[in-house]
Structures are given as structure tokens and as C-alpha cells.
Amino acid sequence: MAREGGVAAFGEELRRAREERGVALEAICEATKVPARYIRALEAGALGELPGGVFRRGFVRSYLGALGLEEGAWMRRFEESCREDGVSEPADAEWATFAENVKKSRIVLRRRMGMRWVGWGVVLLALALAGWCGWRLATHRGLLPANPISRVLKSSVNNAPPPGNLLFARLKLSVRLR
């Protein structure tokens, strides 16, 4: 088999291999589930009529599998013939661009997630502070004097110093001494 001629020669070699095995074009189409027009285009070397990228390679692989040909060597030859003819694989460039865009979006997403965690931390801290203030107010309310003047008046009536408050006891003594 000749290796010159690029994609057209590759397609011709595929057609000859199919005919040598006595396999009809319709049988290949049925086995691979690839439409006949794409198989004809592949055998003619008209890659412009085939879908690009992954589909093109998939059609070639399906074709090779249906004929029982060794896939690795034939796929290398297919890619070499594409390069020889200058059939660029825009899919490769598109995949590289796609991968870069995914990477960039993940970095932005990580930053957003970091800020989101900071926001949740601030909310939880505010809730904890509010809970602590509520607990402190509820449990220590009895320690704060409600109205210090009313205590002094009540204690002066009872002639007893106010409980735990020396300032008011001195005030009462100073009032008594006059």
C-alpha cells in the first residue's frame, strides 16, 4: 500500500481494503451506524464533507473496526495524511481554548466561593455575638440595680444598709448624722 497522496490516498486504501474483504458499503454503514454519504466521502478523501474533530476520527475508527483492521497503525496513518494535506484540526485548538476558559472560570469560581465563606463566617459571628448578648442579659439581669434611689428609700425605711452597696450605706449614714 502506498503512503503518498495524503487523505485521498488514505481513503483509496480504505476502499481497497473493504473491497478485498468483500464487504459492501451498505454493510459498513449498517455496522458502524454512519450514513453512506460520510463513508463515501471518507473513501474519496473528501474530509470537508465529514464532521470535524472527534466525529471524523470516530468514523474512521468505526470503519476500521467493521473491517477488522488494526486500529492503531491506520489511525496514525490517517493523522499523518491529514497533516500532509494541511487539514488542520481546529478541534485541537478549540479544545485548548476550551480548557483554558474552564481553568479561568474555575479560578473565578474559587474566589467567589472564598468570599462566600467569608460572608457566612461574618453572619455566624454576628449570630453568636447576638446570642451571647441575649444570654448575658437574661442571666445577669438580677445583678444590675433596677432603680438605685428606690433601694435607698426602701433601706432607709427599714434602717438597714442596702445589700452590697457601700456608697448608698454611706449616703444613709451621712443623712442620719445631720
- What's the pLDDT tens digit per position in 133-149? 888 888 876 545 555 55
- pLDDT, greater one: 160 or 120: 120
The answer to whether residue 1 is domain-embedded is: no
Q: Say whether both 79 and 98 belong to one domain.
A: no
* Ramachandran sector of residue 24 (left: φ over 0; alpha: ψ -120 to 50; beta: rest): beta
The answer to whether residue 54 is domain-embedded is: yes
- Say which amino acid occupies 144: L
CB atoms near residue 34 (< 10 Å): 20
Domain boundary among 68, 84, 100: 84
Distance CA(55)–CA(61), nearest Å, equals: 10
The answer to whether residue 72 is domain-embedded is: yes
Confidence category of residue 71, pLDDT binned at 50, 70, 90: confident
- What is the mean pLDDT of the segment spanning 39-65? 84
Domain tally, the chain: 3
- Say which amino acid occupies 166: L
- What is the mean pLDDT of the segment spanning 25-36? 89
For 164, the domain range is 148-177
**Contact between 41 and 50 (Cβ < 8 Å):** yes
Q: Say whether both 69 and 20 belong to one domain.
A: yes
Helices (H) and strands (E) in the chain, counts: 8, 0
On the question of pLDDT at 105 being above 60, the answer is yes
Model pLDDT, residue 173: 52
Confidence category of residue 2, pLDDT binned at 50, 70, 90: very low
The answer to whether residue 166 is domain-embedded is: yes
Q: Say whether both 76 and 12 belong to one domain.
A: yes
In 2-125, beta strands by DSSP E? none
Model pLDDT, residue 157: 52
Q: Say whether both 30 and 71 belong to one domain.
A: yes
On the question of pLDDT at 79 being above 70, the answer is yes
Q: How many CA atoms lie within 13 A of 1 on its CB side?
A: 15
